[in-house]
Structure 1
Amino acid sequence: MSLLPSMPETAHLADLFERFPDHVAPLMLYTDGILRGDGELSVAEREMIATYTSGLNACTFCYGSHKIYAALFGFDADLMDAMIADLDRAPVPDKLRPLMAYVRKLNTLPSKLTEQDSQAVFDAGWGEKALVEAVQVNALFNMMNRIIEGTGVNFDYDDDPARHPAVNSTPDKHRHSYAAFAKRFA
């Protein structure tokens, strides 16, 4: 049930943005830049970090939505569930493991990050730009998860995956999907 009386019982992010459109356009433009812009991390890797962050935060809406996007861009959706269950035992590619460990620690104990945490990321072959991109995705999704959970957006893509715009689609159609989504509320 939504936490806002003006929202439907099963609320989608589109319902929230339709009801409260202020600042949606710049937020979605920023999201497009973080998740779809050029970077050291692939779009699939950034969507995977968004999914992982949302899973750590138990944000069902974002976890389900971004798991579909991660799969669309080439990341194994089953790996997402394994990472949430136990990152240390999940079959994460070796290069991604220290980056995801960094994201996990950033998400839960940011003040405990150390030089050894970042050095492990660099030793795996990532540059500073990739680490900053991972930090930005994690930060963005902590904010988005709070918006979703704080307003009671409770639509679950596991209940109706066909409603996700990426289902039966192609990555090219979602190159700037967040900015396009925002235009619905202008």
Structure 2
Amino acid sequence: MSLLPSLPDDAALLDVFRAHPDTARPLIDYHEVLMRGDSPLSVAQRELIATYVSGLNGCAYCHGVHRATAARFGVPESTLTALLEDIDTAPVDEPMKPLLHYARTLTLTPNRAAQKAAAVFEAGWDEKALHDAVSVCALFNFMNRLVEGLGIRATDDNSARSGQRLAEHGYAVLRDML
């Protein structure tokens, strides 16, 4: 239930963005550049990190939307479930595991994250990949707190629709919806 009295109880994140377009516009632009722009990480890998971080934080709204988005980019839901249980046994490419360990540490114990950087480079990732993974992790920790802090909830139907929209049109389309 939305904690903003001006919004309906069943408000979605888009309702929050519409109510606060001045802060939403640059946030949407950042999402578009980070999640769909040039990166050594594929769109699927970035959505995987976003979904994983949201799952770690227990943010059902973001986890649901990005689980649906990641699925559209070929990431099975079973992979996302397995990651939350154990990165090392989850069915993801081996080079992704150090990035996911980094995201986990940055989310749960950020003061220990630097200890995980060497493993990322040893797995063959470059500085841009680490930067982008950290940025996705940070953005979704922020978004999880925004959504949870405002009491925003999603239905499965909303997650599926939002996931389809993000997969087909990216984030920039949200600006047109404000």
TM exceeds 0.5? Answer: yes
The structure with more helix, counted as a fraction of residues? 2
AA paired with 1:132? H
Alignment of 1:1-186 (within 5 A): 1-115=1-115, 117-156=116-155, 158=156, 160-164=158-162, 166=164, 171=167, 173-174=168-169, 177-185=170-178
| Cα distance, 1:9 vs structure 2 | 1.8
Can you list the C-alpha shifts for 1:122-178, whole angstroms capped at 9, x where unaligned?
A: 11111111111000000111111111111111113x3555433517x9x5x32xx21
Give the gaps of 5 or more residues in structure 1.
none
| Cα distance, 1:22 vs structure 2 | 2.1
Following the alignment from structure 1 to structure 2, what is the Cα–Cα distance between the partners of residues 161 and 114? 33
TM-score normalised over the length of structure 1 = 0.88
| Cα distance, 1:75 vs structure 2 | 1.8
Paired positions, count: 178
C-alpha distance 165-92 of structure 1, shift in aligned 2 (>3 A): closer
1:39–1:133: 8 Å Cα contact kept in structure 2? Answer: yes
1:47–1:66: 8 Å Cα contact kept in structure 2? Answer: yes
Following the alignment from structure 1 to structure 2, what is the Cα–Cα distance between the partners of residues 62 and 160? 11
Percent pairwise identity? 47
AA paired with 2:144? N
C-alpha distance 129-162 of structure 1, shift in aligned 2 (>3 A): closer
Following the alignment from structure 2 to structure 1, what is the Cα–Cα distance between the partners of residues 144 and 20? 17
Following the alignment from structure 2 to structure 1, what is the Cα–Cα distance between the partners of residues 163 and 103? 27
